[in-house]
Amino acid sequence: MAQQTAAGSGFEIGTTLAADNQAGFEADTFAEMGEITNIGDFGKEYQIIETKALKQRRVRKIKGSYDNGTLELELYLDPDDAGQTAALAALDTDDNYNFKITLNDAPTAGAAPTPTTYYFRGLVTTFRTSVSDVDSAVTARCVVAINSEILKVPAATGD
C-alpha cells in the first residue's frame, strides 16, 4: 500500500482497566470521541545524549530514554459526545486510561476485515475550549500523554 487517507480514522477512550496486550485492550469498553479534526502524531522518539571528549572535536551522539509521544487532539466541541465526556472525566484523575486509534485501511476482501489499530495507555492532561470569532465553530484541544508501549495490530482480512 503506497498511500492512504486519514479520512475515516477514529479515536476512542476506554477505562482504567489494566491492559498491556491485544486481549487486554479488547476486553475494555471504548467510547469514540466524535468531531475530531486532527489526531496528531505519535510513536517512539529517543532523547539524544551528546558526548564531547576533550581529545576529539567531534560531538558523538548516543540514544537515551524514549517517549512515545503526546497527542494533541483537535476537535469540534460537542457536550453530548460520550467520548468527549469521558475525556473530561479522565482529566480530573491521575489514572492511566486505555486509548485506541483505528485507521481506515481495512482490506476489501475477507470474512471480517479489520483496520490497523493502535492501543496504548495514557493520561488526559488538557481539555481546553476555544471560542474564536463569529465565523468559527467552538473547538477544543484534548492532550493525551502516552504512558505505555504502543501496540500496533495490523489490518487483517479476518479469514
Angle at 154 between CA 151 and CA 111, to 5 degrees: 135
pLDDT tens for 97-153 read 999 999 999 888 778 889 999 999 999 999 999 999 999 999 999 999 999 999 999
**3-class DSSP state of 75:** strand
Q: Is the pLDDT of residue 1 over 60?
A: no
Long-range contacts (CB closer than 8 Å, 24 or more residues apart) made by 85-89: 85/31, 86/13, 86/31, 86/33, 87/13, 87/33, 87/124, 87/127, 87/142, 88/127
CATH topology classification for 10-43+69-153: Pnp Oxidase; Chain A (2.30.110)
pLDDT tens for 84-100 read 999 999 999 999 999 99
Q: Return the C-alpha cell found at 110.
A: 475477507
Q: Is the pLDDT of residue 8 over 90?
A: no
- Element of type H or E holding 25: helix 22-26
Mean pLDDT over the full length of the chain:
95
Q: Return the C-alpha cell found at 66.
A: 524514549
Predicted structure pTM score? 0.92
pLDDT band at 42 (very low <50, low <70, confident <90, very high): very high
Length reported for the chain: 159
**Minimal CA–CA distance to 98: which of 10, 35, 25, 9?**
25
**Minimal CA–CA distance to 113: which of 57, 55, 155, 67?**
155
pLDDT of residue 2: 65
Measured distance CA(44)–CA(95) in Å, rounded: 22
Distance, C-alpha 6 to centroid of its chain: 14
* Average pLDDT of the residues in 61-83: 97
pLDDT band at 63 (very low <50, low <70, confident <90, very high): very high
Residue ranges per domain, the chain?
Answer: 10-43+69-153
